[in-house]
Homo-oligomer: A and B are copies of this chain.
Amino acid sequence: MPPAHPFDDDKLKEECGIYGVIGVADAANFVALGLHALQHRGQEAGGIVCHHPDHGFNNARRFGYVRDNFTDQNLMATLPGPLAIGHVRYSTAGGKAPVIRDVQPFFGEFSMGGAAVAHNGNITNADALRRELIERGSIFQSNSDSECIIHLMARSLQKTIPDRMEDALRRVEGAFSVVAMTRTKLIGVRDPLGVRPLVLGQIGDGWVLSSETCALDIIGARYVREVEPGEMVVITDQGVESRRPFRKQPSRFCIFEHVYFSRPDSIIGGRSVYETRRQIGIELAKESPVDADLVCPVPDSGTPAAIGFSHESGIPYAMGIIRNQYMGRTFIEPTEQIRNMGVRLKLNVNRALIEGKRVILVDDSVVRGTTSRKIKEMILDAGAKEVHFRIASPPTAWPCFYGVDTPEREKLLAATMSEEEMRDHLQVDSLRFISLDGLYRAVGEAEGRNAKCPQYCDACFSGEYPVAPSDQIEKGFTLKAAE
């Protein structure tokens, strides 16, 4: 399976995209399109569950891209009905071979009828919940923490599925956006902090729930509003009912959605993601200017910030690194080893452009630092005179436990090195990250970060976790010492 980004192995990875549609003919076709637009949020596998009054619930789960599976006419014909939900995921099961029964949505038959649930985020007390449920006789089919939700629902004594879901989600800690369905209802929920995104759209007489607005655009749906942190929406052919199952809290949306996860053509909180990233480039150019000949993005995710940096600095923007469009499986390396083959397969330097130049490279983040190093070498091999890195996020020093795949803390370059040490390690002429305040300004907080009550979840930068990661703490993870 081709990775989403050229250095996928050195990026944080969003783990899921969720989508649901009600009130249109052949809802599963819309869901397939929506999941396709959310493919950057999870490339490993995808699943769709749908319901038709005559044919009941049907589902399909497949490894691989949405476009390679859910475009098959024979398959889509098995997914009829006006109501469907879907899920794309990136695997979180460290090292294990993926298994199809881990692919969401999960389905359960209850005494009042069936329900399906798809989840984006991470349940931080899933281990404890799973132990308790097994003790009481539940049989788990998957290794996914998300399966807890459907078992908690199966055991709830409430009479309706939305009520059972409220019951279940009140037992769950962590970050979650959920899309669920019964025979007649489409349900969306965001956790009280609203860490993961979820938006509401309208298409004709039907309604859509989606992780991002770009997946409303693809089907021509109109953006209505975000599902609010702590809100549950229950949508039927009577319209949208809003519930508030949780105690109210100040919200803490994931700031990394702005930096990298979301697509540049999505809109979050009324702001264009592209424009936010361009603003990050402008802030970076203000905070850390440098005299140079060219501003080059590390493709493709560094592009908007590089455009902003070029605009603010007046240094010309150029495509110094060209990405091979046909990336994919790993080639067998010829026996005579070629240095950096891994990178050359995906990227090539525009040698004629770079030679003799002082080059500013704009990238979105530094995780392990392995690819930054390779790119620097490619650029120097091509004859660059100077290489300056400008990074569109603060140093990533802490793992995320809210639905993002991060390396263990000791593998994060910024967990063990200062900015200056990282520069030495990467052997570049300069290396600068945007400041945390600069990032907050770029996302629209003119005053920067409110240290008392941060406006966003920025735990990966700050180590301040808005929800205690209890399963991890039990396994030995040490929180940042209070200052």
The number of chain A residues with a CB under 8 A from chain B is 90
**How far, in whole Å, are A407 and B274 apart by their CA atoms in the complex?**
37
Task: Tell me the minimal C-beta distance from A249 to chain B in angstroms.
Answer: 29
Task: Tell me the minimal C-beta distance from A204 to chain B in angstroms.
Answer: 6
Q: Is A36 located at the chain interface by the 8 A CB criterion?
A: yes
Closest B-chain residue to A99, C-beta based?
B59
Q: Is A134 located at the chain interface by the 8 A CB criterion?
A: yes
Closest B-chain residue to A277, C-beta based?
B319
- Proximity bits, A29-59, B CB within 8 Å = 1, else 0: 1101100110110010000000000000000
From A234-242, A283-291, A327-335, A451-459, the one touching the partner chain is A327-335
* B218 near A348: Cβ-Cβ < 8 Å: yes
From A149-157, A253-261, A475-483, the one touching the partner chain is A149-157
**How far, in whole Å, are A219 and B329 apart by their CA atoms in the complex?**
16
Using known A-B contacts A71-B328, A332-B29, determine if residue A274 contacts B319 with beta carbons closer than 8 Å. Answer: yes
* B220 near A338: Cβ-Cβ < 8 Å: yes
Q: Per a CB cutoff under 8 Å, which of B154, B265, B333 touches A348?
A: B265
* A24 near B334: Cβ-Cβ < 8 Å: yes
Task: Tell me the minimal C-beta distance from A433 to chain B in angstroms.
Answer: 23
Q: Is A271 located at the chain interface by the 8 A CB criterion?
A: yes
* A319 near B332: Cβ-Cβ < 8 Å: no
Using known A-B contacts A29-B334, A109-B134, determine if residue A353 contacts B272 with beta carbons closer than 8 Å. Answer: yes
- Proximity bits, A140-156, B CB within 8 Å = 1, else 0: 11000000001100110
Using known A-B contacts A76-B332, A139-B138, A334-B26, determine if residue A353 contacts B275 with beta carbons closer than 8 Å. Answer: yes
Closest B-chain residue to A75, C-beta based?
B332
**How far, in whole Å, are A108 and B137 apart by their CA atoms in the complex?**
10
Closest B-chain residue to A76, C-beta based?
B332
Closest B-chain residue to A352, C-beta based?
B272
From A60-68, A184-192, A364-372, the one touching the partner chain is A60-68
Q: Per a CB cutoff under 8 Å, which of B66, B303, B307 touches A326?
A: B66
Using known A-B contacts A29-B332, A67-B329, determine if residue A344 contacts B220 with beta carbons closer than 8 Å. Answer: yes
Q: Is A339 located at the chain interface by the 8 A CB criterion?
A: yes
- Proximity bits, A309-345, B CB within 8 Å = 1, else 0: 0110000111100101111111111111011010011
* B137 near A37: Cβ-Cβ < 8 Å: no
**How far, in whole Å, are A331 and B219 apart by their CA atoms in the complex?**
12
Using known A-B contacts A32-B331, A73-B332, determine if residue A322 contacts B137 with beta carbons closer than 8 Å. Answer: no
* A140 near B109: Cβ-Cβ < 8 Å: yes
Q: Per a CB cutoff under 8 Å, which of B30, B214, B317, B334 touches A334?
A: B30
* A24 near B336: Cβ-Cβ < 8 Å: yes
Task: Tell me the minimal C-beta distance from A147 to chain B in angstroms.
Answer: 9
Using known A-B contacts A151-B139, A204-B336, A352-B271, determine if residue A345 contacts B36 with beta carbons closer than 8 Å. Answer: yes
Using known A-B contacts A272-B350, A316-B311, A322-B263, determine if residue A68 contacts B344 with beta carbons closer than 8 Å. Answer: no
Jot down 14 A-B pairs with beta carbons below 8 A, ordered by A: A2-B67, A39-B324, A65-B326, A71-B332, A111-B131, A203-B336, A217-B348, A265-B348, A272-B352, A274-B322, A275-B353, A303-B319, A304-B319, A307-B317
Top 9 nearest A-B pairs by Cβ distance? A272-B352, A67-B328, A137-B155, A265-B322, A29-B334, A108-B139, A71-B329, A39-B326, A137-B154
